[in-house]
Chains A and B, each alone.
Chain A
Amino acid sequence: MSDAIEIRGLRKTFGSTVALDDLDLTVRAGEVHAFLGPNGAGKTTTLRVLLGLLRADAGQVRLLGGDPWRDATRLHRRLAYVPGDVTLWPGLSGGEIIGLLGRLRGDPGTAKRGAALCERFQLDPSKKARAYSKGNRQKVALVAALASDAELLLLDEPTAGLDPLMEAMFRECVAQERRAGRTILLSSHILAEAEALADRVSIIRDGRCVETGTLTELRHLARTSVTAELDHPARLDGVTGVHDLSTTGAQVSCQVDNTALTEVLALLAAAGIRTITCQPPTLEELFLRHYTTGPQQTAGAAR
């Protein structure tokens, strides 16, 4: 069992709205997988299908080797979930909710481990849920998930509402969980978080997965930005793989396809390099590449 989640060609519609359209997603056991996309791209719908709350219209979905719709309760024993929009029972205290969720998952040890985590996250477990701020409600759900003994964590925008200190604490916890061998699917639109935590990344747009792989792999597909100060002007225009070229006197800057890097650097070296900066693409740039272009172009680029 090497894949914790395997989704092929998943489709889900609500009336005439297509929420998920031929979505593929693979999460390997033991990895932290970032599931990136802007609001409304279909991240939460995918998670709800994985939880068996929504029924897939088409496609194959395997979760921990089972069918998330038919084997829902059996599979839920092995996963913990943090919803994107945390709703708690207003009359119950945070500590009660953490204990309750643990027992509902059939894991009474959650309460004990949760108490320690509450301290780390500076959460007062005796407060009623109606008195918690958004960030504190988020902490209750996070503590309940992190304190569980589940092998798979499904986290839907888990750091929404957390302050920077708590966000750092969360990253520490995720790193610790990965070392302990847990699989984590982290849905997010915070790229720095994904860059810091994720082994692999999937980018979703309009209900389909447009890019997936390790950050290194994704960077290979993208362009490196090159800025150089030269002794003599270089003749880069017309070279295949060079984009957005701008030349100001002896200063040149451009975006270079990674396949053309050798050729470009040779040309620059021939012109005499005084200074040079080569920047690998940030996740931000990868992401923006998919979202600033129109749907038609991206569909083409994805093929």
Chain B
Amino acid sequence: MTGLAGTGPLIRLALRRDRFMMLAWIYVTSAGVAGVAYWLGQLYPTAAKRDLLASAAGTNPALVFLYGKLYGDSTGALTAWRYGVWGAIFAALMSVFVVIGSTRADEEAGRLELIGSTAVGRHAPLTAALAVTAIGNVLLGVLVTAGLILTGQPAAGSAALALAIAAAGVAFGCVGGLAAQVASGARAARGIALGALGAAYLLRAVADTGSAAPLTWLSWLSPLGWTEQVQPFAGQRWWALALPAGVAAGLGGAAYAVAARRDHGAGLLPGRPGRAGASALLSGVFGLAWRLDGSTLAGWVAGFAFLGAVLGAAAKGIGSLLGSSSVLQNEFTRIGGQTAITNAYLAAIMGLAGLIAAAYATSAALRLRVAETTGAAEAVLASTVSRLRWALSHVTVLATGTAALLTSAGLAIGLGYGLRTDDLGEVPRLLGAALAQLPAALAIAGLTVLLFGAAPRVCVGGGWAAVVAALVIELFGTLLRFPRWMIDISPFTHMPKLPGGPVHAAPLIWVSLAAVALTATGLTALRQRDIG
């Protein structure tokens, strides 16, 4: 057991370091579940009202795409449907960040070398990281159970939903643990783990919205699908919890096996040597920004293209999900029939693509802060590059990159859908629908640039809080009847719901102007403050 010596102090260290980050995730997730349960109880108090919501929700492909399938029609079941998969995603994000933060990121920064020189076993850092993740997810599970029971849900279903969310969290913690051993750096490790999370979401979405029965088994390949398969408040399939537990054990074991074989600081893939001199592309600060962000962006673009093609192809025949309820059939025919349903599904995908693009834009904007805190900015600013030019180089990359992402998504969705329906005229229409989200995504990034210039200490937290807030408003704002002003805060609220929705020029112009104004104010503030 000497391999585990020193695990205890490392657990305390990780808890000390990550406590605020973990508590924030745990709070958002557990308060979210309890809040959804409470408001659903208030807004849909009678079985008849819930029934109407359930029959509409369970069949609306856009909603099934976003949230998953609905099992049952109690308040608890509606809560599990609306927040189960997303609660699992939040738990997974927390776990991935915690595990990689105290394994690969510490190794890269050299802290793990210092720790490794003390009487700490080879496996202690990974064990401590996984233990802290487990502690966080257990706490999350307890709070979710308590919150649901307090809002009057049955205990068994509450425990099942909480366990499903926490189990997904632990499973993705182990994904992060393995990624941290395989990748050659923390950035790459986070990329692998978040890519796995995205793939799991995609598998679940395709399986749930897939018109053909052969597709539904895909849900069993996705850890996020398992969250649904537990079916809390609808009979509770407890055995489905064995799947994430088994995956956690398998991936965790693999992580230990790789950790035992690899060298400190190395991944499974060896690094390649670089050029002996700077090429013509690396000709200045703009070339540098492209060089630093280009490969990441290429990965994002490829991911958007792949996801878009799959989801676009799945859009054909989406209306067959409607089932046999003739009342609903009539209702949908009244609002536009098959076309309206497909449009709503595609518009939901566009909205999500816009939010993910906003997340990319925010991370690209935060490159500025990373460069400042690591000291890399000092080398650039000690040359003849002005602060404005340096910041603009990154702003250019993030704006072009965000546009490239949405272009890629729009083209891929258009091609996927167009080829299935033999109508390539869909391509420009859906490309336009995707690009309509661009001003909102850039406005979110503009806020990050403003914070970077005016309040650099809070720009990381503030930037990501804006992304999460926009996501929560998009997903839950209308259903939970948030106050109007709160919904209006998110720039995405003002973007046209395309395809199908009306287009007004004014909100597009105003949000674009806001994005420019936020960025410009941030850049002005940057010129006045201390660097470093």
Contact = CB atoms under 8 A, between A and B. Distances in A.
Contacts of B530: 53-55
Contact of A89 (B275, B292, B381, B385): B292
Contacts of B272: 128
A48 interface: yes
Interface residues of B, number: 35
Could you tell me the dominant secondary structure of chain A's interface residues?
mixed
Interface in B344-388: 374-376, 378-386
B277 A95 contact: yes
A105 B380 CA distance: 9
A179 interface: no
Interface string A73-96: 110110111010111111111011
B282 A90 contact: no
Could you tell me the dominant secondary structure of chain B's interface residues?
loop
B531 A53 contact: yes
B276 A125 contact: yes
Given A54-B530, A79-B382, 17 more contacts: A48-B378, A48-B531, A53-B530, A55-B529, A73-B385, A77-B384, A87-B376, A89-B288, A89-B291, A96-B274, A100-B278, A104-B285, A104-B288, A104-B385, A125-B277, A126-B275, A127-B273
A104 B380 contact: yes
A103 interface: yes
A126 B384 contact: no
Interface string B255-282: 0000000000000000111111111001
B3 interface: no
Given A104-B385, A105-B384, A83 B277 contact: no
A40 interface: no
Nearest to B532: A53
Given A54-B532, A91-B292, A96 B386 contact: no
A32 interface: no
Contacts of B384: 73-74, 76-77, 104-106
A126 B274 CA distance: 5
15 contacts: A51-B381, A53-B378, A76-B385, A85-B375, A88-B376, A89-B288, A89-B291, A96-B275, A103-B283, A104-B288, A115-B276, A126-B274, A130-B271, A131-B271, A154-B382
Contacts of A81: 378-379, 382
Given A88-B376, A100-B288, A53 B381 contact: yes
A95 B278 contact: yes
Contact of A101 (B292, B375, B379): B379
B387 to A, nearest CB: 8
A88 to B, nearest CB: 7
Contacts of A104: 284-285, 288, 380, 383-385
A106 B192 CA distance: 38
